[in-house]
Amino acid sequence: MTTALVVGVGAVGTRAARQLIDTPGVDRLLLADRDDAQLTEVASAFGSDAQAVDFAPGDPIPSDVDVVVTALPTGVDHPIVTAAIAAGVPVASSEDEHEALEQLRVLDPNARGAGVAIGIGCGLAPGLVDALARHAASMFESVDEIKVARTGWAGPASVATVRHERRVPVRTWHDGTWREDHPHGDSLVWFPEPIGARDCRTVTGGTALLVDAFPGVARIGVQLGEPPKRARLRRRFGDEGEWGAARVEVWGRRDGGFDCTVYGVVERTAVAAGAVLAVVGARLAGALTPKLDRPGVHGLGALLDPVPFLAELAQRGVRAAAFEGVAVA
């Protein structure tokens, strides 16, 4: 009997919970959130498949839980991951802010020592793009550069993270070393239709996760699109959430020449992030095969084999595409 604990039932957590309920290998779902009204509403919507529990960051992990899935605002995951490592329970986290990711990466020796697999940055980007970069990189003899970009946000907490990332000094991986810089202006990035061209700015984001997964690649960059102005005043997020897109560009050498592979995906950001989070969680718990059991704290580029992951996501409606034509450098 597989039991998953979903902590945070906002835009992403609710969708991840739905995906986990729809996973045959998951028998029981526990839901936790600091907002009791939201928690009650979501738990009642899922019926007998889900049960609301009293759990908060810092609490010990309940004894019968096989995996913890977190979809929380920035910086809240650390005590949960610490408790999970102590309990020997794997975690799938949707954390995507660079300082919070660093705090989780620091736990890597603890997770390795405990033999626990922790997946971090389980969303659209970081997350799905890391797996797509791994997939694209497998087609090259050597990779010189990886560029990923995302436009779209899953909810108010996601918008706040994007605004913060675009405002603070940037750390990029350039010629095999970290380089710190102030945020530059935006440049156009071309996503699959119907998203098309969007202004994006270089941020730190999940760059470190890509560097972990591709230590031999000289240049790695992450870009984020501009969030809507005053979203809270203008309108509320609808039930279906905002459309988002991600793009992965891998440059390298193959067949004696310099070439590029470009992958992209368009989906409602919360839906894509929820599906990624749920699939990683289910595979960490062993409810989906192949089970993810590599001890340590990893991004998805290092944690999983991309092909079965992309196949599972495609079955759930999150499909990636390849750009065929003349890529823009």
Q: Which residue has the tokens 């440059």?
A: 251
Q: What's the closest the beta carbon of residue 183 comes to other proteins, in angstroms?
A: 10
CA dihedral 151, 156, 162, 167 (to 10 degrees): 140
Nearer to other proteins, 238 or 325 (CB): 325
Which residue in the set 30, 189, 213, 260 belongs to the binding site for other proteins (CB under 8 A)? Answer: 189
Per DSSP, 49 falls in state G
Tokens of 70: 């977190």
Those residues whose C-beta lies under 8 Å from the C-beta of residue 187, and which sit 6 or more positions away, are 199, 200, 201, 223
Cα–Cα distance measured from residue 91 to residue 69, given in angstroms and rounded to the nearest whole number: 6
Span from 13-21, 46-54, 252-260, 312-320 in contact with other proteins (CB under 8 A): 312-320
310 binds other proteins (CB under 8 A): yes
322 binds other proteins (CB under 8 A): yes
Whose CA is closest to 199, among 222, 227, 177?
Answer: 227
Nearer to other proteins, 46 or 309 (CB): 309
Contacting other proteins within 157-186 (CB under 8 A): 184-186
The residue count for binding other proteins (CB under 8 A) is 30
Which residue in the set 263, 278, 280, 287 belongs to the binding site for other proteins (CB under 8 A)? Answer: 263
Q: Is 314 helix (H, G, I), strand (E, B) or coil?
A: helix
135 binds other proteins (CB under 8 A): yes
275 binds other proteins (CB under 8 A): no
CB 212 within 8 A of CB 299: yes
Q: What's the closest the beta carbon of residue 188 comes to other proteins, in angstroms?
A: 3
Nearer to other proteins, 17 or 245 (CB): 245
Which residue in the set 293, 307, 315, 317 belongs to the binding site for other proteins (CB under 8 A)? Answer: 307
Q: Is the dihedral of CA 276, 294, 91, 219 positive or negative?
A: negative
CB 263 within 8 A of CB 247: yes
Which residue in the set 169, 197, 258, 293 belongs to the binding site for other proteins (CB under 8 A)? Answer: 197
- Cα separation of the two ends of the chain: 50
Whose CA is closest to 102, among 203, 181, 204, 221?
Answer: 204
Q: What's the closest the beta carbon of residue 264 comes to other proteins, in angstroms?
A: 6
Span from 58-66, 108-116, 273-281, 307-315 in contact with other proteins (CB under 8 A): 307-315
The residue ranges that bind other proteins (CB under 8 A) are 135, 139, 184-190, 192-193, 197, 199, 263-264, 306-307, 310-311, 314, 319-328
